A and B are shown apart, each in its own frame.
Chain A
């Protein structure tokens, strides 16, 4: 509702004294009302001029013209918090936000304790807080400007996003300022703009679910400030400041000490039920059948291990590393190898049934459906092979290696390729539709009744119409991804090379939460009951609450993990590049 000018005070001709001049346009329709607006403005300017506080800019002058009024005040060299939020990559430093929060409590307390009448700020929000060039806060826009806003009649109110529920009843007490400060801190800590969310929905976006660097103590302070009922909030701003300082002290934030007291999460306490050591790295994902775990290894073998006790059963040698996840059908194990073959061996004895030759390494995993096995190869082909006889039925030529695992649904085969083409192919091997991502699609698609989901090295998670290939939505990940998505209820999960595990709402493509691991997430998340299991290149297997992304436990292996876990009957199996496969209690 007006502009702010940077101006020079010509009373001081020999020096450059900068001031800020705030212009407010008087939109009141009739002259009498316009006069009242100007009178109110001048009365409030007078009050403001008497306030002396380091976080309140000094007022030098005011005047009114034809249809405008002006306020001349101290020029602040800095930028407002909205700009700070916008210009900061990643989250703001929690210590910095808390320090600002405490300064804001100070200045609001000064206003609330003003005599003879307390002053309600009424409009706390990031754009009204400037950070000067010394890093201190300045409250810039007092409710004074509100006089100039036209009366909002009819069916619309401009919600501030930061204002408390009672504003709709026309109440403005000091408890409203506490709510708005809580909302401002919430925005600063989460970078989620409340103006883009339904009103009063902060409790649906718990801070620690979004930014894991924030302690639960700090979160509790912000939550109390944001209570729906004014009486449930801090009774005074000084109480809020106390609580904020106590929370900051507890986590060592105030002294800027690194928070060595990491959250009390189990990391060492977990003992695997068993582990089994191969002779080289395990980069793939296990499969389970008939109480046996099957897993490929870069020592060229496929291992069969007793799922109950980790006892070695047999191994089957190929002539190349095995990253392909085995599939099991009709008592046979199907898997690809870098020796350019699809191997099919008996699950019981590990003896060869048949094999199919491709013309390049087979890093894709087999998908068995409708009596056929579908598998991609680095030779750029999708191979369709009769799953009983091993007879090649057709090959579909893509322009680049296929490492993605095909998905079969709606009588079509869906698969991605390394040059970014995504194909929907019918059972005769002809293309129904294709789609091009900007970079490779190693991720294996997941197809539901509604959509085809996969991620790409171009840094997006895609949702495509299964019938036509139209992009329904795409979600931007921090970096490229080869992780394959999974779904639980309304959420879809995937990992990415930026080290995050993401949870995204299926319908709206909005992020529900993200969890940070210490390195790339190349494996795929797995859902078991209400938990999400996902491994990271940081060598940990994580167990998270799927709804909230809260860490339940993590388990450290001795090397980076590139594959995905398998969960069956309350036991998680995971292979690691430390050559071992582990069995853990889910």
Chain B
């Protein structure tokens, strides 16, 4: 088996590994084989795996972020449609009960989606749901909005939720938490659009990216869950990043680390759990000014 893989894959990796690491001890042929075998691993079952990380950070006393991560695999002769739900909510500092708002948001929104999907996950789906996935998410956002206004009036939270079904990701998004598609080739694509004042000013070309970094109103959002009479979340559907990873995080992560650092932290890790902790550690090492929350999800197979 190894011989076969070696024949297939060994030539290129061996060269690059050796060339790229001139100062380390060259890998033994066995080690190379091991790595190559791992890289070439083929998973027959298509399924979702996810991991998450969270930290209060170095400067706050209270964690106002909340997250929810659900991955299901139900496979058999009847087929297999990967299903996952990943949510990050960042309760807003300066407001009362920011932590209640973010918690209410993920539970209300997540609860709505799961209640809708429950029958379809546990009985064989013959006819799909009548509501579209986007309608479902819109309804979840309105319920979360109502729940926050009822249970924690005056507070607010961001919400970035990804519903993965098959090879599609539907995103519901309010505020400045972010979702990225991260690819092994170095691409680090932002999928969401911040609902922040400086983000908008930057889009309009009124301020530069550098000015945005240090803008006094950097934290000002123009849309947040729990705030305002009407709320228009961004809801859209994209393909799950092929061979890549879906990253959802609060601004405690993306506001502190560059894309390159984040990409590095993810690609250096051999597991998703490790990658999440790497990201959290890096944000804390950079000062940890805010709560940090991160979810990584990957499609295997």
Chain A interface (Cβ within 8 Å of chain B)?
150, 153-159, 165, 168, 193, 195-200, 228, 433-436, 449-451, 462-463, 465, 467-474, 507-509
CB distance from B45 to the nearest CB of A (A): 15
When distances are taken between beta carbons in the complex, the residues of chain A under 8 Å from B81 are 467-468
CB distance from A473 to the nearest CB of B (A): 4
CB distance from A274 to the nearest CB of B (A): 45
23 contacts between A and B (CB under 8 A): A154-B93, A154-B95, A154-B219, A155-B220, A156-B95, A157-B221, A159-B222, A168-B217, A197-B232, A200-B204, A449-B239, A450-B168, A462-B132, A465-B167, A467-B167, A468-B128, A470-B133, A470-B165, A471-B128, A473-B133, A474-B134, A507-B238, A508-B234
- Within 8 Å by CB of B168, from A196, A200, A472, lies A472
CB distance from A451 to the nearest CB of B (A): 8
Bound complex: CA A449 to CA B168 (Å): 11
Q: Which of chain B's residues has its CB closest to A433's CB?
A: B128
CB distance from A180 to the nearest CB of B (A): 16
Further 9 A-B residue pairs, CB within 8 A, beyond A156-B95, A465-B165, A467-B166: A156-B227, A158-B227, A193-B230, A195-B228, A195-B230, A198-B222, A433-B128, A471-B129, A473-B134
The 4 A-B residue pairs with the shortest CB-CB distance, nearest first, are: A154-B94, A196-B232, A471-B132, A473-B134
When distances are taken between beta carbons in the complex, the residues of chain A under 8 Å from B238 are 450, 507
When distances are taken between beta carbons in the complex, the residues of chain B under 8 Å from A462 are 132
When distances are taken between beta carbons in the complex, the residues of chain A under 8 Å from B239 are 449-450
Q: Which of chain A's residues has its CB closest to B229's CB?
A: A195
Cβ contact within 8 Å between B156 and A156:
yes
Cβ contact within 8 Å between A435 and B237:
no
When distances are taken between beta carbons in the complex, the residues of chain B under 8 Å from A197 are 232
Cβ contact within 8 Å between A199 and B222:
yes
CB distance from B250 to the nearest CB of A (A): 12
Q: Is B135 an interface residue (CB 8 A)?
A: yes
When distances are taken between beta carbons in the complex, the residues of chain B under 8 Å from A156 are 92, 94-95, 156, 220-221, 224, 227
- Within 8 Å by CB of A155, from B94, B133, B167, B234, lies B94
Bound complex: CA A198 to CA B194 (Å): 10
When distances are taken between beta carbons in the complex, the residues of chain A under 8 Å from B152 are none
CB distance from B230 to the nearest CB of A (A): 6
Name the interface residues of B203-250: CB closer than 8 Å to any CB of A.
Answer: 203-204, 206, 217, 219-224, 227-230, 232, 234-239
Interface size of B in residues (CB-CB distance below 8 Å): 47
When distances are taken between beta carbons in the complex, the residues of chain B under 8 Å from A435 are 127-128
Cβ contact within 8 Å between B232 and A470:
no
CB distance from B234 to the nearest CB of A (A): 7
Q: Which of chain B's residues has its CB closest to A197's CB?
A: B232
Cβ contact within 8 Å between B95 and A473:
no
Known contacts A193-B230, A473-B133: A508-B235 contact under CB 8 Å: yes
CB distance from A262 to the nearest CB of B (A): 35
Name the interface residues of B13-67: CB closer than 8 Å to any CB of A.
Answer: none
Chain B interface (Cβ within 8 Å of chain A)?
81, 92-95, 127-135, 154, 156, 165-168, 170, 193, 195, 197, 200-201, 203-204, 206, 217, 219-224, 227-230, 232, 234-239
Q: Which of chain A's residues has its CB closest to B196's CB?
A: A155
Q: Which of chain A's residues has its CB closest to B222's CB?
A: A159
Cβ contact within 8 Å between A463 and B165:
no
- Within 8 Å by CB of B135, from A200, A433, A434, A473, lies A473
CB distance from A475 to the nearest CB of B (A): 9
When distances are taken between beta carbons in the complex, the residues of chain A under 8 Å from B128 are 433, 435, 468-471
Bound complex: CA A470 to CA B93 (Å): 38
CB distance from A179 to the nearest CB of B (A): 14
Cβ contact within 8 Å between B227 and A472:
no
Cβ contact within 8 Å between B200 and A200:
yes
Q: Which of chain A's residues has its CB closest to B195's CB?
A: A198
Q: Which of chain A's residues has its CB closest to B227's CB?
A: A156
- Within 8 Å by CB of A468, from B166, B203, B219, B228, lies B166
CB distance from A485 to the nearest CB of B (A): 16
When distances are taken between beta carbons in the complex, the residues of chain A under 8 Å from B201 are 165
- Within 8 Å by CB of B132, from A228, A434, A473, lies A473
Q: Which of chain A's residues has its CB closest to B90's CB?
A: A155
Bound complex: CA A507 to CA B203 (Å): 20
Q: Which of chain A's residues has its CB closest to B130's CB?
A: A471
When distances are taken between beta carbons in the complex, the residues of chain B under 8 Å from A507 are 236-238
Known contacts A468-B165, A470-B129, A471-B128: A228-B220 contact under CB 8 Å: no
Cβ contact within 8 Å between B197 and A157:
yes
When distances are taken between beta carbons in the complex, the residues of chain A under 8 Å from B236 are 507-509
Cβ contact within 8 Å between B165 and A157:
no
Bound complex: CA A471 to CA B227 (Å): 30
CB distance from B175 to the nearest CB of A (A): 9
When distances are taken between beta carbons in the complex, the residues of chain A under 8 Å from B232 are 195-197
CB distance from B231 to the nearest CB of A (A): 9
Known contacts A157-B220, A474-B132, A507-B236: A228-B95 contact under CB 8 Å: no
CB distance from B193 to the nearest CB of A (A): 8
Bound complex: CA A195 to CA B232 (Å): 8
Q: Which of chain B's residues has its CB closest to A169's CB?
A: B217
Known contacts A465-B165, A471-B128, A472-B133: A157-B222 contact under CB 8 Å: yes
Q: Which of chain A's residues has its CB closest to B81's CB?
A: A468
Cβ contact within 8 Å between A471 and B206:
no
Bound complex: CA A450 to CA B238 (Å): 8
Bound complex: CA A525 to CA B127 (Å): 30
Bound complex: CA A50 to CA B154 (Å): 35
Q: Which of chain B's residues has its CB closest to A196's CB?
A: B232
When distances are taken between beta carbons in the complex, the residues of chain A under 8 Å from B195 are 198
When distances are taken between beta carbons in the complex, the residues of chain B under 8 Å from A451 are 168, 237
When distances are taken between beta carbons in the complex, the residues of chain A under 8 Å from B93 are 154-155
When distances are taken between beta carbons in the complex, the residues of chain B under 8 Å from A228 are 204, 206
CB distance from A149 to the nearest CB of B (A): 11
Q: Which of chain A's residues has its CB closest to B168's CB?
A: A465
Cβ contact within 8 Å between A168 and B220:
yes
When distances are taken between beta carbons in the complex, the residues of chain A under 8 Å from B237 are 450-451, 463, 472-473, 507
When distances are taken between beta carbons in the complex, the residues of chain A under 8 Å from B130 are 471
Cβ contact within 8 Å between A168 and B219:
no
CB distance from A474 to the nearest CB of B (A): 5
CB distance from B50 to the nearest CB of A (A): 20
CB distance from B7 to the nearest CB of A (A): 31
- Within 8 Å by CB of B92, from A154, A196, A463, lies A154
When distances are taken between beta carbons in the complex, the residues of chain B under 8 Å from A473 are 132-135, 237
When distances are taken between beta carbons in the complex, the residues of chain A under 8 Å from B167 are 465, 467
Bound complex: CA A317 to CA B223 (Å): 64
When distances are taken between beta carbons in the complex, the residues of chain B under 8 Å from A198 are 193, 195, 200, 203, 222
CB distance from B44 to the nearest CB of A (A): 17
Known contacts A157-B220, A168-B217: A465-B166 contact under CB 8 Å: yes
CB distance from A419 to the nearest CB of B (A): 14
Known contacts A158-B227, A467-B166, A508-B236: A199-B134 contact under CB 8 Å: no
Q: Which of chain B's residues has its CB closest to A150's CB?
A: B154
When distances are taken between beta carbons in the complex, the residues of chain A under 8 Å from B228 are 158-159, 195
Bound complex: CA A165 to CA B197 (Å): 10
When distances are taken between beta carbons in the complex, the residues of chain B under 8 Å from A474 are 132, 134-135
Cβ contact within 8 Å between A472 and B94:
no
